[in-house]
Structure 1
Amino acid sequence: MSTTAITGARIFDGEKPLGITTVVIEGGKIVQLGGHAPAGAEVVDGTGATLLPGLIDAHVHTYRGGLALALKFGVTTELEMQGTHTRDRRGEISEDDSVADVRSCGFALTPPGGHPSELFPEGFNPGKQAGRHRGEPPYHPDATSPEAAAASIPQLIARGSDYIKFMIDDGSVEGHPGLPMLDQATLNAGVTEAKKHGALTVAHALTIDATRMAIEAGIEGLVHLFVEPPTDEIITLIKDAGMFVVPCAVLNASLMGITGGELADDPRVASRLDTDWDATLRSCFGHYPQGKLQDVLDSIKALADAGVDLLVGTDVSQPLPFLGGLAHGASVHQELQHLVAAGLTPAAALRAATATTARRFHLSDRGRIAEGLRADLLLVDGDPTVTITDTLNTRAVWRRGTRLAA
């Protein structure tokens, strides 16, 4: 069993900077923090660099190529918020250290014809685009009534959903007002049943009204942030409910017509993107041009000041221009920059991509640098606890102690 010692690097352990110390990894885990490198260990000189836990993207729609791209940017885990990578369908990925690990809700509860069906051109098959899976088709829950929603929850859990997602969206932000949407009774019934089974619940909600519905139902996490200016009332409601929020500011920016072109121009990003992903990053959704990104940043700051747990997520999907402004892995770094622009410290932003996400999604084996945890690690030149853009200065990435080939 090989042993690797990373020496001379500053350590950010997922919660706070530790200064310069040694981290030893063996058998896929962190086995020593501090002290000297063991005899015979492969030594990685981290002088001038900072060692971080592998980053976690708390909102994606992914496939093997997306997971591979994410890992190149030091994102070692992606949390799927609609897709097919449930526990019973991801065995090969879990054992493949050349791609990011993944967790999934499976398919979210939404009425027939509801969001996200309006996003795709007629005849488009997102499952085919993402690649085929072996075995029986994924389970699609029934959200046509409170009784149907409640009955769907144990089926989702039995088929390997790691958490349960509810779509609360009438299509207004996406330029398709009047879409079928979950009503409060159906939402409440689904959430109540999920809690009976001990399942974590999250909601897609892009407006303040939809956010209120999620709060009333007892949802634990919002995996989007509303696009309107914040109000003291909604911030207080979210805080008092104990919810976490995944702002996906990069997605809201894309909805508002802001492309990822500036990020794509960064040579640290461009060198890792193929032509399709470059084109996608330079595009945008553009469905909500009346929105203002500053409103989103103001909401993030208000939530942070209120003590609400914020998690880094992107809503990245596939390399298609109509899903544009985003790219796996790369957009996590831009989301970190948005959090800092909103007023968070770099360390607080890094917590939102590591320890806080692991805690809120009950991923007890990752998200921090500590003895006994997975050796999911990112080594970057510079000090991102001071300059957040240094997260893009990738020197090395490890997934379960296996170093990603350059």
Structure 2
Amino acid sequence: MARTISRRAVLAGAAAGVAGTAVGVGRGAPASAAEPAVTAVTGATVIDAVGGVRRDQNVLVRDGRILAAGHLHRVPVPSDARVVDGRGRFLIPGLADMHTHATEIEPTDPEMYVVNGVTTTRQMTANEAVRGWRREIEAGTRLGPRWTVGSDVIDGSPSLWEGLGVPHVAVADAAQARAAVRQQARAGAEFVKTYTRLSRESFHAVADEARRVGLPFLGHVPDFVPVTEASDAGLRSIEHLFEFWYDTSRDERRLRREIARIRIAGGDYAGWFTGLHPVEYAAARSYDPDRAARVFERLARNGTHVTPTLTVHWTCDVPQDVPHDDPRFRYVSEDTIGYWQWATETIYLAGRTPRESAERRELFELRLRLAGELAGAGVPLMTGTDLGTAYLLPGFSLHDELRLLVRAGLTPAQVLRAATLEPARHLGRHDQGAVLRGHVADLVLLDADPLRDIRNTTRIDSVLVRGHLIDARARRRMLAEIEDAARNRPATGALPTAAGCACHGGGARPV
């Protein structure tokens, strides 16, 4: 059973660590009456997916929104403004992680997101810890991203998550699927998440009932439903790159018959992951570019977003390549690192032969190519990491996703769009994702040009989240406090089985 950690332990006394802000990191204090009304980023190069590149810009922020943005000769700075020197620096919209499974196992998740410039997150499974964080953030007593929180996983019966501690609903038919959607709507879910073992009948019942109750539905394309059929049914976003291979294979009919013959027991995520590998690999090897072009055109026409989550495919396909001495791991507890090691050895590497390792390495390279082809065909992509899976970190791993998308063939400008504007559009937030007057002041000031090298998104000087400034000094202090919190958290030696990813499991959080 997972160890419970109180949110009250999060970065005690960190309110002083956010220079000039009204909100502290752990528990905040009310804004001072002397606090400047306007924060001004001056002389920066602004980059976004709406206006492109604009040099020598002043951006004024007041009350959590962008008051003005334009050339420094046309946007004067109030004499009493707090000034952030943007000369030689690059200002981009806040980044989005659109596939997370945060839990209270690591109670500093909200802070790790914002110090890394991630100001929007989409929680893929219902979670009381995240709902609590969101209440604190919206009340102004804590700094953190804007969280959209989904439903329990709606899976087929038997579910891959039976007995594993992951919030899920197993449905055996259309009636149960409809009832599950209604129950999740009553529970306050902002969207319905579909999962891997839903039957075709149940999937379409979820789609229809979600429309009836006014909730978007999104998630995994089930093993028994073609990607194009799911898109036509209104699936808002497709998570991961598992199911694309069958629609794009010249052997689709035969491979789908093989999938239908495979029986997976309840709670056997690892059995699903390993059991379907030969079929998935055969599908990827029989990829038909002409079929793929028709599939991608249909997704683009339907406006179906895709969240490739290349980071999680990397940790699952080639876990032997993941460095276990990454210095960023100092920001998480010993128990979390222990879980990562256990999950990697028990789920992804156990029994893996040299041949399978070679096949999975090839498969990962094919996934990279697939992501590039989706983007080239005009399918809107979004950035997401699948936080909760082994060796993925809040905020930090989002920058790894950006790097992998460039490796997949996207330009840095396309990647920034996938991390900013497309998530805002998907969420229906027309006042986010760009540096424009009236937009929410979620901004990241970089020391180097991300269009020249996407890795420059990690060279963060300052972050504004809801208009609150975390300057360079405050970021260093927050990171030190996060590190101290991780170091001082007593190790239990227990596996945090309720903390893993319900998407890519091992008795943890759903992918």
Same-fold status (TM-score > 0.5) = yes
Q: Which residue of 1 aligns with 2:402?
A: 336
Stretch deviating more after TM superposition (200-209 or 53-62)? 200-209
1:176: which partner in 2? none
Matched, 1:306 2:341: no
CA deviation profile, 1:109-157 (whole Å, cap 9, x unmatched): 113541345xxxx7x646xxxxxxxxxxx8x545232112112223322
- 2:74 aligned with 1:12, yes or no? no
- Aligned equivalents of 2:385, 2:89: Cα separation in 1: 26
In structure 2, the residue matched to 1:326 is 392
Residue matched to 1:254: 315
Who is 1:77 aligned against? Answer: 120
Question: In structure 1, what is the equivalent of residue 220 of structure 2?
Answer: 204
The 10-residue stretch of structure 1 (231-240 or 355-364) with the greater mean CA deviation from structure 2: 231-240
Contact 1:202–1:221 (CA under 8 A) maintained in structure 2: yes
Alignment of 1:4-403 (within 5 A): 4-15=39-50, 16-34=52-70, 35-63=75-103, 64-84=107-127, 90-95=134-139, 96-117=141-162, 125=165, 141=169, 143-168=171-196, 181-205=197-221, 211=227, 214-215=230-231, 217-226=233-242, 228=245, 229=284, 231-232=288-289, 233-241=291-299, 242=302, 243-258=304-319, 261=322, 265=326, 269=328, 284=344, 286=348, 289=357, 290-291=359-360, 292-317=363-388, 323-403=389-469
Paired letter, 2:200: Q
- Alignment check: 8 A CA contact 2:48 2:416 kept: no
How many percent of aligned residue pairs carry the same amino acid? 28
TM-score (norm. length: structure 1): 0.82
- Report the CA distance shift for 1:213/1:183 in structure 2 as closer, same or farther (over 3 A): farther
Deviation (angstroms), 1:367: 1.8
Return the letter of the residue paired with 2:208: T
Task: Report the CA distance shift for 1:260/1:93 in structure 2 as closer, same or farther (over 3 A).
Answer: farther
Q: Following the alignment from structure 1 to structure 2, what is the Cα–Cα distance between the partners of residues 206 and 337?
A: 28
Bigger shift: residues 391-400 or 367-376? 367-376
Contact between 1:250 and 1:325, CA under 8 Å: does it hold in 2? no
More helix by share: 2
* Deviation of the 1:45 alpha carbon: 0.3
Any conservation in 2 of the 1:72–1:272 contact (CA below 8 Å)? no
Shift of 1:97: 4.3
Per the TM alignment, residue 99 of structure 1 is displaced from its structure 2 partner at its CA by: 2.0
Q: Please, which moves more after superposition, 335-344 or 215-224?
A: 215-224
- Aligned partner letter, 1:307: G
Measure, in 1, the Cα distance between the counterparts of 2:222 and 2:89: 38
Superposed CA RMSD = 2.9
Identify the residue that residue 177 of structure 1 maps to in structure 2.
none
Residue range with higher mean Cα deviation, 368-377 or 226-235: 226-235
TM-score between the two structures when normalised by the length of structure 2: 0.66
Alignment gaps of 5+ in structure 1: 127-137, 169-180, 318-322
| CA deviations over 1:296-337 (Å, ceiling 9, x no partner) | 1110111111100000001112xxxxx313111111101101
In structure 2, C-alpha distance between the alignment counterparts of 1:305 and 1:10, rounded to whole Å? 27
Larger Rg: 2
Kept in 1, the 8 Å contact 2:131–2:149? The answer is no
Distance 1:165 1:364, change over 3 A: same
Q: Secondary structure at the match of 2:195?
A: strand
Greater Cα offset, 336-345 or 30-39: 30-39
Partner of 1:133: none
Q: State the shift of 1:197 in Å.
A: 3.1
Distance 2:182 2:312 in 1: 31
2:54 partner amino acid: L
Structure 1 residues 334 and 21, CA gap change in structure 2 (3 angstroms): same
Cα deviation for residue 200 of structure 1 reads: 1.8
